[in-house]
Chains A and B, each alone.
Chain A
Amino acid sequence: QVTLRESGPTVVKPTQTLTLTCTFSGFSLSTTGMGVSWIRQPPGKALEWLALIDWDEDTYYSSSLKTRLTISKDTSKNQVVLTMTNMEPADTGTYYCARVRGTMIRGVVYYSMDVWGQGTTVTVSS
């Protein structure tokens, strides 16, 4: 059974750095075609993709946030860590991690986020 769980602070102050950890089980991030992504959702608003790290340690970032984000993995611990610098109140919301799985269909690999964590709520306030 594949599971993911987010952990980290519930409150951070403006200008601080947020560090979130995604601890997963049931799959290996060393397996070709696998990845872990972070997505966030401000209260009452839409989903926003943040970052992804794949089995080959390639990293990808939202163009609007890439100067503030760093994603890394510790394969031995089955963890993926996201840091976001210079937090501000607009960063308040629920942060999710999700498994990214590649599936080959007629010779083409298609990716999707097939299993999600329950999310962790982060409030930015002084």
Chain B
Amino acid sequence: DVQLTQSPSFLSASVGDRVTITCRASQGISSYVAWYHQKPGKAPNLLIYAASTLQDGVPSRFSGSGSGTDFTLTISSLQPEDFATYYCQQLNSSITFGQGTRLEIK
């Protein structure tokens, strides 16, 4: 099975900051990566698919990049509603999720 390792696991940042979350796969997965965020008590919400394609309705401050084994999610200027847990997901070989990155207000 493909393992996904996200870093960091916990991130403290301020409104307006630029933040980057990384996701590393245990083997090459081309661009079959999606990113989600999840707020407490809510279902996850799709942000990015195909590693870099923004889902309809998602603000342009979110961006994704990468191919092969290394992927990043960047938020260019944090907004209050962005404080949540972020998950990467691979859909190349079966489906797996990363362990999550919790983004909290500094």
Binding site for B on A (CB under 8 A): 37, 39, 46-49, 52, 60, 62-64, 96, 98, 103, 105, 108, 110-114, 116-119
Contacts and interface: CB of A to CB of B under 8 A. Distances in A.
Contact of A47 (B42, B44, B45): B44
B43 A111 contact: no
Contacts of B97: 39, 46-49
B49 interface: yes
Interface residues of B, number: 25
A62 B95 CA distance: 8
B46 A113 contact: yes
A60 B95 CA distance: 9
A111 B91 contact: yes
A63 B43 contact: no
B-side interface mostly: loop
A50 B39 CA distance: 21
B45 A49 contact: no
Interface string B36-51: 1010001111100110
A98 B89 CA distance: 14
Given A47-B36, A60-B94, A111-B32, 13 more contacts: A39-B44, A39-B97, A46-B97, A49-B96, A49-B97, A63-B1, A110-B91, A111-B49, A113-B36, A113-B44, A114-B46, A116-B43, A117-B43
B14 interface: no
A118 B50 contact: no
Contacts of A96: 43-44
Contacts of B65: none
Given A46-B87, A110-B31, A112-B34, A63 B45 contact: no
B69 interface: no
21 contacts: A46-B99, A46-B100, A47-B36, A47-B89, A48-B97, A49-B95, A52-B95, A62-B94, A63-B1, A63-B94, A103-B50, A105-B50, A105-B53, A110-B31, A111-B32, A111-B49, A112-B34, A112-B49, A112-B50, A112-B55, A113-B89
